[in-house]
Amino acid sequence: MILVLRGVSLQVPEGGIVALLGANGAGKTTTLKAISNLLRAERGDVARGQILYQGKRVDRLTPNELVRRGIIQVMEGRRCFEHLTVEDNLMTGAYTRRDSKAAVRDDLDLVYSYFPHLKERRTIQAGYISGGEQQMLAIGRSLMSKPRMILLDEPSMGLAPQLVEQIFETVKRLNEDEGVTILLAEQNTNIALRYATHGYVLESGRIVLDGAAETLRNNADVKEFYLGLGSKGRRSFRDVKRHRQRRSLLA
């Protein structure tokens, strides 16, 4: 058995945007998959502890049961159905819904209002649209399930800075206008902490720091770890922190 996460404890307040930060391999995606119960598809499981949503334990529910309760994950790498059209991709997001076709159509129009580029390309196969449009499509598809909480995994990956800014602005609008809670796993610390209200730094499967986003933005250890300002090259967050503690004691 390989233990990937160790004692990870975090809270996501309703209506907030929380950033889960860390380098590649820190355990961010595993954390999101543990919450969405997608770990079991990869022969993984939550061995200890529990996951609560609105005060009720949910780590034994199936992924589709979680979607019906309002939790959905937007996977890293977008994961669109390339052979389906943009609109057909969006409609797959409404698969678990049991309300009327009119309600589904209203939500499709809502998605198009947030992502007008998708409306222009609704009849095009998803495999032929750009990476930025595929990221919009992945987020739009999640909205079709009428989520209360979106687990958003590395939305900036492989995108130009201008597109990243556009994606995050839309995520902020969804949070503010639709009341969708966001848990955001992201390597791009600077932009994540600009839009988040709170952040957690994850390293080697453990939470090593957390706090308000503004506090983390101004934290010298976080700056040195993510900007690689150390004279000996990139080091772990813990090494940076210990170095600063030793330097403080000697001062």
CB 244 within 8 A of CB 220: yes
CB 78 within 8 A of CB 131: yes
Instruction: Collect all residues with Cβ–Cβ distance below 8 Å to 6 and sequence separation of at least 6.
Output: 205, 206
- Rounded to an integer, the average pLDDT of 191-197 is 94
**Which class does domain 17-218 fall in?**
alpha beta
- Which residue intervals of the chain bear CATH 3.40.50.300? 17-218
pLDDT class of 122 with cuts at 50, 70, 90: very high
Return the pLDDT at 236: 55
Distance CA 137, CA 111 (A): 9
Distance CA 40, CA 27 (A): 16
Return the pLDDT at 60: 87
Interval 136-175: pLDDT, tens: 999 999 999 999 999 999 999 888 888 999 999 999 999 9
**What are the residues facing 74 on neighbouring strands?**
152
Neighbours of 64 (CB within 10 A): 12
Q: What is the distance, to the nearest Å, from the Cα of residue 15 to the centroid of all Cα atoms in its chain?
A: 14
Q: Please tell me the pTM assigned to this model.
A: 0.86
Token pair, residue 78, equals 């977008």
The answer for 43, left when phi > 0, alpha when psi is -120 to 50, beta otherwise, is left
Write out the chain in H/E/C secondary structure: CCCCCCCCCCCCCCCCEEEEECCCCCCHHHHHHHHHCCHHHHCCCCCCCCCEECCEECCCCCHHHHHHHCEEEECCCCCCCCCCEHHHHHHHCCCCCCCCHHHHHHHHHHHHHHCHHHHHCCCCEHHHCCHHHHHHHHHHHHHCCCCCEEEEECCCCCCCHHHHHHHHHHHHHHHHHHCCEEEEEECCHHHHHHHCCEEEEEECCEEEEEEEHHHHHCCHHHHHHHHCCCCCCCCCHHHHHHHHHHHHHHC
Return the pLDDT at 125: 97
247 pLDDT higher than 50 = no
71-74/56-57 β-pairing: unpaired
**Percentage of the chain modeled with pLDDT above 70:** 88
Q: What distances in angstroms separate CA 213 from CA 101, 154, 203, 216, 228, one per listed residue?
A: 40, 17, 17, 5, 20
Interval 199-227: pLDDT, tens: 999 988 999 999 999 999 888 888 777 64
Token pair, residue 70, equals 């309002």
